[in-house]
Amino acid sequence: MSGPPAIEVENLRYRYPDGLEALRGVSFSVAGGERVGLVGPNGAGKSTLLLHLNGLLPARLPGEAAVRVLGTPLTPATALAVRARVGLLFAEADDQLFCPTVGEDVSFGPAQLGLSRAEVAARVSRALAAVGLAGFDDRPPHRLSAGEKRRACLAGLLALDPAVLALDEPTQSLDPRGRRELATLLTGLPVALLIASHDLGFVLAVCRRVVVLDAGRIVADGPAADILADEPLMLAHGLESPPPWSVQGRKNYSE
């Protein structure tokens, strides 16, 4: 890949106001178009790390920016521009779908960009079509299935035309079919992916590379197949290797 990496994180530290030290010096980078899994036990700091990619947590430690997106350092001044390039999918779809209808929700992002009405409408229908929800404009979100909600959230991100998608537990509360459809959808997108998940089979199916986070530090970073097959490493960090049958999924999605 040419050009700057999609995401560069350098020695990122974060302590919550209540004193909890969530990130203790995290460094890694994701190349343009690369698909990376972020795994680790509960409380490892995965969600905190994703929030940092959008500059959503206040009071970073003083010093130079620890996060760069497509070469742009993430600072309060650049946060709005960076958020348009990095789509963040939250763990709970109901938090993310806050508008009365799916159409309004998908248009929320583009409407903030100062685009023309026609352009916003075009982006909305393009994004909805991309996730297979064409014609869902007028649906109220509470009428959608869990899978449809997840895809509607994704449409809201795609409408911003992002270069990176950072997904927090994207398969949560999806049935196997919804999970499979999501994997197909994600692997077809021309964006870099960072997927934080406990669903290791899904990570293996979608990502070539895996980063293991535990207690705010990166403890492993390498090819997904090798790392997820490393039983002792997995067990040491509250994880387990996905069952062999789910590895077959990899053939379906990765190429």
Partner 1 sequence: MTPAVVARAGPLHRLPAGLKLAAATAGVVGLAFAPRDAFAVFGGGAAVVVLLVLLSRVPPGRFLRRLLLVEPFAAGAALLALFPPGGLLWFLGLLARTTLCLALLILLTLTTRFTDLLGVLRRIRLPRLFVTTLALAHRYLFVLAEEAARLRRARKSRTFSRRRGAAWRGSAAVAAGLFIRSFDRAERVHRAMRARGLPE
Exactly one of 40, 109, 178, 201 binds partner 1 (CB under 8 A); that residue is: 109
> Judged by CB, which is closer to partner 1: 76, or 190?
76
Tokens read off for 220: 């492993």
Strand, coil or helix: what is 183? helix
Residues within window 157-196 making contact with partner 1, judged by CB under 8 A: 157, 160
Decide if 224 contacts 208 (C-beta within 8 A): yes
Establish if 121 lies at the interface with partner 1 (CB under 8 A).
Answer: no
Exactly one of 84, 115, 130, 189 binds partner 1 (CB under 8 A); that residue is: 84
Exactly one of 62, 76, 176, 243 binds partner 1 (CB under 8 A); that residue is: 76
Question: How many Cβ atoms sit within 10 Å of the Cβ of residue 114?
Answer: 8
Say which residue the tokens 């972020």 belong to. 38
φ/ψ (deg, to 5) at 214:
-145, 130
Establish if 72 lies at the interface with partner 1 (CB under 8 A).
Answer: no
Decide if 152 contacts 94 (C-beta within 8 A): no
Exactly one of 1, 20, 61, 79 binds partner 1 (CB under 8 A); that residue is: 79
Decide if 234 contacts 241 (C-beta within 8 A): yes
State the residues that interact with partner 1 by CB under 8 A.
51, 54, 56, 76, 79-80, 83-84, 87-88, 90, 92, 94-101, 104, 108-109, 112-113, 138-143, 156-157, 160
